[in-house]
A = this chain, B = another copy of it.
Amino acid sequence: MKDGSNDTIEEAHWASDYRMLGSVLNNEPQGLMARLEVEVPGWRSAEPGQFALLQAGSSRCFLARAVSVADEVGARVSFLIAPVGEGTRELCALNGGDMVWVVGPLGRGFDVDALVISRGRAVIVAGGAGVAPFPLLLARMARRHRALFSRPVGEGPGGPQASTLEVLVLLGFRDALQAEASTLLREVAALACESGLRCRVEVAIEDGLRGPAEKVTDLLIRHLRSGDRVAVCGPTPMAEAVWSICASKPDVRAWFSLETGMACGVGSCHGCLITLADGSDARVCKDGPVFLGEAVFGG
């Protein structure tokens, strides 16, 4: 019998409950990064900051690569990927219709409530490819904020003043080309503004060719106020610098999305272990990738 139902049974032998076969809908360059939009049948909604393991269907690599969920609409999942090595280059080179293996969403994301329900502002700090998780975070912050506060005045938990949550998005890039990776984030920021967030995006460009040579940490020093809640993603030296700025202000809480080499992404291989400030071990894939600054860098 060579009909559809039989094919489905055959398929069942090949599919696992753990790994999904997605199909690329679209791949468009955003500066040096690629915005890969993938249809992932079976995809369960992600928390912002969660990631997936991706592997091109025709990959030459043995292992999949960890990539943050940049945005999702149902089973249409977007990723922002910087081509740094073989695995990410393969992903960036995918075309519409190409297959991609997907395991996810994985890990622990950002604490949306802590960012939204706050007396201070929410500050997003991203360096380079670290921009990737923030479109989804911003979208979810807007959604959560609306759910909590878009009610008749006085009924929401935070009262009317909370409904004007201010979100400061600070981005740092090496040059203008790299800065185009902020396109998706800007789109989401515009939507977030429409839905009630007071969202402002500032970009620091390091090469100084079309404006002042600035780092994202310069922006942060300029803007950070006590009471702010900060979400950070970027290279380790940047993250460390951000932490020391945060730690210097009273009542600032900051969450960091960390990056390490990963083999399994689900807690099986112990390859991504880091030692926390208190000397205990944590797996970035399972206990993170998002950690509180104190936990990682110490009080």
- A interface list, Cβ under 8 A from B: 58-60
Chain A interface secondary structure, helix, strand, loop or mixed?
Answer: loop
Count copies of this chain in the complex: 2
Which residue of chain B has its CB nearest to the CB of A90? B58
Least CB distance, A73 to chain B, in whole angstroms: 31
Nearest opposing residue in chain B for A61, CB measure: B60
Complex: how many Å from CA A59 to CA B59? 10
Give chain B residues whose Cβ lies under 8 Å from the Cβ of A60: 58-60
List 3 contacting pairs A-B, 8 Å CB cutoff, sorted by A. Answer: A58-B60, A59-B60, A60-B60
Docked Cα-Cα span, A58 to B59, in Å, equals: 10
Q: Closest residue of chain B to A93, judged by CB?
A: B58
List 3 A-B pairs, minimum CB-CB distance, nearest first: A60-B60, A58-B60, A59-B60
Q: A217 vs B60: C-alpha distance in the bound complex, in angstroms? A: 41
Chain B residues, Cβ within 8 Å of A59: 60
A89: nearest chain-B partner, CB-CB: B58
In the complex, what distance in Å separates the CA atom of A60 from the CA atom of B86? 11
Complexed CA–CA distance, A59 and B60 (Å): 8
Q: Give the docked Cα–Cα distance between A60 and B59 (Å).
A: 8
CA distance A58 to B58 in the complex (A): 11
A58 cross-chain contacts in B, Cβ below 8 A: 60
- A58 to B61 Cα, complex, angstroms: 12
Q: How far is the CA of A60 from the CA of B58 in the complex (A)?
A: 9
In the bound complex, CA of A151 to CA of B296 (Å): 89
| Minimum Cβ distance to chain B for residue A89 (Å) | 10
Question: Which residue of chain B lies nearest to A60 when distances are taken between CB atoms in the complex?
Answer: B60
Q: Which residue of B lies closest to A59 (CB)?
A: B60
> In the bound complex, what is the Cα–Cα distance between A206 and B60 (angstroms)?
37
| Whole-angstrom distance between the Cβ of A57 and the nearest chain B Cβ | 12
Q: How far is the CB of A27 from chain B (nearest CB, A)?
A: 15
Q: Could you tell me the distance between the alpha carbons of A294 and B58 in the complex, rounded to whole angstroms?
A: 44
Q: State in angstroms the CA–CA spacing of A111 and B40 once bound together.
A: 57
Chain B residue with the shortest CB-CB distance to A58: B60
CA distance A111 to B59 in the complex (A): 43
Whole-angstrom distance between the alpha carbons of A60 and B60 in the complex? Answer: 5
How many angstroms between the C-alpha atoms of A142 and B59 in the bound complex? 45
Whole-angstrom distance between the alpha carbons of A38 and B59 in the complex?
24
> Could you tell me the distance between the alpha carbons of A58 and B90 in the complex, rounded to whole angstroms?
10
| Min distance, Cβ A123 to any Cβ of chain B, angstroms | 41
A268 to chain B, nearest CB (A): 25
